[in-house]
Structure 1
Amino acid sequence: MSWLPEDFVHPVHAEVLPGHHLRPIRESDVDLDYPAVMGSRERLWALYGEAWGWPAATMSFEADRADLARHAVEIAAHQSFNYALFDTAESALLGCVYIDPPEKPGADGEICWWVVDELAGGEVEAALDAFVPAWIAARWPLKSPRYIGRDISWADWIALPALG
């Protein structure tokens, strides 16, 4: 049984605030994703390193491309979702939102997100922080989503038992 209804159609565009939108990430976004991730690597490692081992200090451009290709396949199969945050012209990747099936009990989906260092603590991050839970509630068929790093710390999430 899928974690999402068979007839669910995932959003392909979501306006976060004027001049900033989300869309599913693609392999071809690597030219924008790689500098965004590696330019914010230390902060991202502090968030995701223990849980995901990402992003490694040694992550190559080609490894990032392969990761984005995997995400695109998973999105098409509705296995998990990675949405990239872009400016209107899509000239810069500014962050990502991950919507995943639950790995731990107590939720029907697990969601987290990040922005690049230059936007951390600013208007765009605040807008994304407000937007994501409202978007999930309005557009996604999840009854009890878990916002990792928001409503549960990463340390507390890691400490939960795995499903199954």
Structure 2
Amino acid sequence: MQTVKRYVEDYEVGTRRQSTGRTITEADIVLHAGQTGDWFPHHVDAEWCATQPFGQRIAHGTLILSVAVGMTAGDINPVAFSYGYDRIRFVRPVFIGDTISVEAEIAGLRPHPTRADAGYVDEKVTVTNQRGEVVLALVHIYLVERRPTEAPA
């Protein structure tokens, strides 16, 4: 990991980054079910799922969200903090053996309503499977410090 200070002024709308792929495994699903307590049969009961429209187990949406966010967390920015996520949509199911990749694009820069020393950076995150189909979309919001100004001499 690399540490890079990037202030609000350093971000440019339209800048993109792309992850490598990551294959979702049965172990991922079982570990996530154990961590969250979500043992819903759509995720863990292969026999029941065979009788359902998707025909097989599907990964938890929250698992894919967590993995995708982790796939975009390559740099440590000590002046930026995750503020939250908006418009999270689980567009298509992810199955065991699917490989996901993530594209993140700076979609907007906004001033903070009460803090002159900070602003928001909106990053549109799109997760696709190995067939190029969108499986998850969201906006990741960062609270980012503004570049400090020199005090008048």
TM-score by length of 1: 0.24
Q: For the pair shown, which has the larger CA radius of gyration, 1 or 2? A: 2
Higher RCO (CA < 8 A, seq sep 6+): 2
Please state which structure has a larger fraction of its residues in helix: 1
